[in-house]
Chain A
Amino acid sequence: MSLPKPVMRGLLAKRLRFHLPIAFGLAITTALVFKYTVTEPRKKAYADFYKQYDAVKEFNAMREAGVFESVRPSGE
């Protein structure tokens, strides 16, 4: 009937020692994965879009379609 005395102290420390590295690792991994799958492609997409962007051409196309109120299409 002589059982060993159970562990009475340091329970939270033991749990943190196990779980905190995992938590931090998962958080950092999630951030890195998001950065390299979402934000970097997005930045590249925007850079490529504006390399070939002709603002005047786009404006004239929108004007002809009739979406502006300040300038009407050139026909009217």
Chain B
Amino acid sequence: MLRLTSGRLGSLLARCPIAALTTSSRVRMESQQSHEVVETVDMSRPLYYDRRDTPLPDKPYTDILSDADKSLKQKEKGPWIQLTNEEKITLYRLMFYQTYAEMKEPKGEWKTVVGGIFFFLGFTGLVVWWQRIYVYPPHPRTIDEDWQAMQLQRMLDMRVNPVQGFSAKWDYEKGQWK
């Protein structure tokens, strides 16, 4: 956490060292985690991504082509009618990782989300219950039943909202609700 904030402070002071700070901090993080091998992603260069709203990523999926792939790429420069269907599919898979159909496949993520929501709601309920027993102070006396009754009687005596509201619903002759 501290390393991230130092990166942000660096960006406030000077624009240039951002990349140096973040990459160097990331390298430092990797060197301290000697039990894991993490690949550094150079975010300053174009990246490949599968996104439904952006059809053409910044770079093709495969950069390193084998000799067969290279000759296929040369054939791609000619008229495409000469390519067989398998070659077209190979070229597509070289350029892209997932098709739109594969990207749009339902992953069932909503079940995790809804389950997580209910779990945390339940946990919050337990926390609130504990608070009611151990944290809340005693009730103010204005919540007691007899105080509420006295309050209601006083409101009727004062003729609160006599036209359409509160006292309009009380029958003053009979002493009961209409």
Binding site for B on A (CB under 8 A): 42, 45-46, 49, 58, 61-62, 65-67
Contacts and interface: CB of A to CB of B under 8 A. Distances in A.
B157 interface: yes
Interface residues of B, number: 9
A45 B163 contact: yes
Interface of B: 154, 157-159, 162-164, 168, 172
19 contacts: A42-B164, A45-B163, A45-B164, A46-B163, A46-B164, A49-B162, A49-B163, A49-B168, A58-B159, A61-B172, A62-B157, A62-B158, A62-B159, A65-B157, A65-B158, A66-B157, A67-B154, A67-B157, A67-B158
B168 to A, nearest CB: 8
Contacts of B168: 49
User: Chain A contact residues: over half helix, strand or loop, or mixed?
Assistant: helix
Given A62-B159, A67-B157, 6 more contacts: A49-B162, A49-B168, A61-B172, A62-B157, A66-B157, A67-B154
5 tightest A-B CB contacts, nearest first: A65-B157, A49-B163, A67-B157, A67-B158, A45-B164
A9 to B, nearest CB: 26
A45 B162 CA distance: 11
Contacts of B159: 58, 62
